[in-house]
Amino acid sequence: MSDLIIRPERPGDEAAIFAVTEAAFTGHPHSEGTEPAIVDALRADGDLVLSLVAERAGEIVGHVAYSPAALSGGDEGWMALGPISVHPNQQGQGIGRALVEAGSKHWQEAGAKGVVLLGDPALYGRFGFVRETPLHITGPLAEYFQTLPFTAEIPASSVTFAQAFRLARPTNR
Global pTM reads: 0.93
> Does residue 172 register a pLDDT over 50?
no
> Does residue 169 register a pLDDT over 70?
no
Mean pLDDT, range 6-21, rounded to an integer: 97
Q: What are the domain boundaries of the chain?
A: 4-167
Of all residues in the chain, the percent with pLDDT exceeding 70 is: 95
Report whether 62 contacts 96 (CB < 8 A). yes
| β-sheet with 145-149: strand ranges across | 4-8, 50-56, 59-68, 78-86, 114-118, 145-149
pLDDT in tens, 86-121: 999 999 999 999 999 999 999 999 999 999 999 999
pLDDT in tens, 50-92: 999 999 999 999 999 999 999 999 999 999 999 999 999 999 9
Count of C-beta atoms within a 10 Å radius of residue 143: 11
Confidence category of residue 33, pLDDT binned at 50, 70, 90: confident
**Structure confidence at residue 2 (pLDDT):** 66
Mean pLDDT, range 2-10, rounded to an integer: 93
CATH class of segment(s) 4-167? alpha beta
